[in-house]
Amino acid sequence: MEFTLITLLNGLSYGLLLFMLSSGLTLIFSMMGVLNFAHASFYMLGAYFAYAISGKLGFWPALFIAPLLVGVIGAFVERYGLRSVHKYGHIPELLFTFGLSYVMVELVQLIWGRAAVPYPIPPELDGPLFTLFTTTFPMYRGFMMLIAVLMLVSIFLVLTKTRIGLVIQAALTHPEMVEALGHNVPRVFMLVFGGGCALAGLAGVIGGNAFVTEPGMAATVGSIIFVVVVVGGMGSLVGALLASLLIGVLQTFAVALDYSFATLFAGLGGSIGPETFGYPVLKLTISQVAPILPYMLLVLILIFRPRGLMGTREG
């Protein structure tokens, strides 16, 4: 019982972190049709900025300042970089962000070195939140979940209840019309890109001290967020939430299961040994396969339901 509950909680918190990361990506994609390969690099940037700022001013100022800084950088990138590539089509835009991710990792390494940096959890958040049977659930995880939920709620409110949110939603599907109505659509694009990057930066601030802050952190998380965005449906925020929770819980539970086809056959009475044909496949336990489950999910979704769980547009 304890194990199931704790694993469920862990899965949910991991899923919410994934959501924080991929929400920005979904927004940018639904807005501009650009799949931002450098998104994970903005996540890394947020973590490093938070490390630098919290060293001088403390964690709480960093929580607000770092995402803003990352958002500003994102807006710059859009204005001076992406915009000039926009006229060449979608593939060059993708490639631009691809090259950008390389460059950002190099710059971070240049400034902060190649080793991991000690970005610590603030002492007031360090410690157990509650104890479930004998396992403690760390307070910081609870904090992460709280921030993620707050973020979701605030995005939803901004997009649906404020004027700028309505303009953004309109520009999503009818940019020319919106421009004809007198709104500065390129500026809206810049805002959305900056906002998406700021969200990634916030995820970095929160996640950087829970997991190690190092130059390799962008690469390790980069592919998973694409899976989330695609599985959830490119363009749907709620879909991204569902997909990240699904993947988070799936991966966390899968690790716990030590069953394989071999055990299944053994349970059914058959015997599987090293001489059986296909033994290397049969003896793989679910826990060993756990890390590739998201990719299998990605491939399956793309084959059977390309627009994702809740997507409204495809490709």
Residues 182-211 that bind another protein (CB under 8 A): 211
Site residues for another protein, 238-267, by CB under 8 A, read 251-253, 255-256
309 in contact with another protein (CB under 8 A): no
**61 vs 315 by CB, closer to another protein:** 315
Q: Which is nearer to another protein, 58 or 99 (CB)?
A: 99
Number of residues that bind another protein (CB under 8 A): 79
Q: Which of 57, 58, 64, 110 binds another protein (CB under 8 A)?
A: 110
Q: Does 162 bind another protein (CB under 8 A)?
A: no
Query: Where does this chain touch another protein (CB under 8 A) — which range of 143-151, 172-180, 198-206, 290-298?
Result: 290-298
Task: Give the whole-angstrom CA distance, residue 160 versus residue 195.
Answer: 16
The residues facing 135 across adjacent strands are 132
CB 51 within 8 A of CB 119: yes
Q: Select the residue interacting with another protein from 115, 163, 271, 277 (CB under 8 A).
A: 115
List, in order, residues 6 or more apart from 39 with CB less than 8 Å away. Answer: 21, 24, 25, 28, 97, 196, 197, 200, 222, 225
Residue 130 is a binding residue for another protein (CB under 8 A): no
Give the angle 182-197-111 at the CA atoms, nearest 5°.
Answer: 135
Share in percent of the chain as helix, strand, coil (round to 5) = 75, 5, 20
Is 192 or 234 the residue whose CB approaches another protein more closely? 234
Structure tokens at 185: 């659509």
Site for another protein in 45-74 (CB under 8 A): none
Segment contacting another protein (CB under 8 A): 51-59, 66-74, 164-172, 286-294?
A: 286-294
Question: Would you count residue 95 as binding another protein (CB under 8 A)?
Answer: yes
Interaction pattern, residues 6-45, with another protein; x per rule: CB under 8 A: xx--xx--x--------------------x----------
Residue 166 or 256: the one with the smaller Cβ distance to another protein is: 256
Q: Tokens 């000690």, residue?
A: 118
Please, which contacts does 281-286 make with residues 24 or more away whose CB atoms are closer than 8 Å?
284/260, 285/257, 285/258, 285/259, 285/260, 286/254, 286/257, 286/258, 286/259, 286/260
